[in-house]
Amino acid sequence: MPAPVQGALAVQVRTGSDAGVVVAVVDDIPSRRCVTAERSFLAEIGAGCHTPTGALATVSSTLIWPQASLFSEDHRQVESATDLVALGILLARSLSSEF
């Protein structure tokens, strides 16, 4: 499982600008939703780029399927989960309470 939000590209533009119209053409809503789920997991556990964790959200039809793993610092323990209702936040709470 990859580190959360790997390969995501974000473009930030000023609201109401002409650039917003151009960027909207390439905005992929399913990808944005997956990134949001993965980022919410990171935010909930207070993780940074050095936290031993993995997260991957994928889209199937209209559903987002999140997966996450949280490793102990020595990598000897791992907790993994998927939760279709709560996505990133409840998944993170569930995993972080295990440690």
**Tokens 């559903």 identify what position?**
63
Per DSSP, helices labelled H in the chain are 18-26, 29-45, 87-97
pLDDT tens by residue, 2-35 = 988 888 888 899 988 999 999 889 889 899 889 9
What global pTM score does this model have? Answer: 0.72
At the topology level of CATH, where does 18-97 sit?
Double Stranded RNA Binding Domain (3.30.160)
Residue 58 has pLDDT above 80, yes or no: yes
State the Cα–Cα distance between residues 49 and 36, nearest whole angstrom.
16
Task: Specify the pLDDT at position 19.
Answer: 92
- Is a pLDDT exceeding 60 seen at residue 85? no
Instruction: Report the distance separating Cα 77 and Cα 95, nearest Å.
Output: 12
The predicted-structure confidence for 32-56, as pLDDT tens digits, reads as follows: 889 988 888 888 888 888 888 888 9
Helix (H, G, I), strand (E, B) or coil at 80: strand
In the numeric block, which tokens belong to residue 85?
């209702």
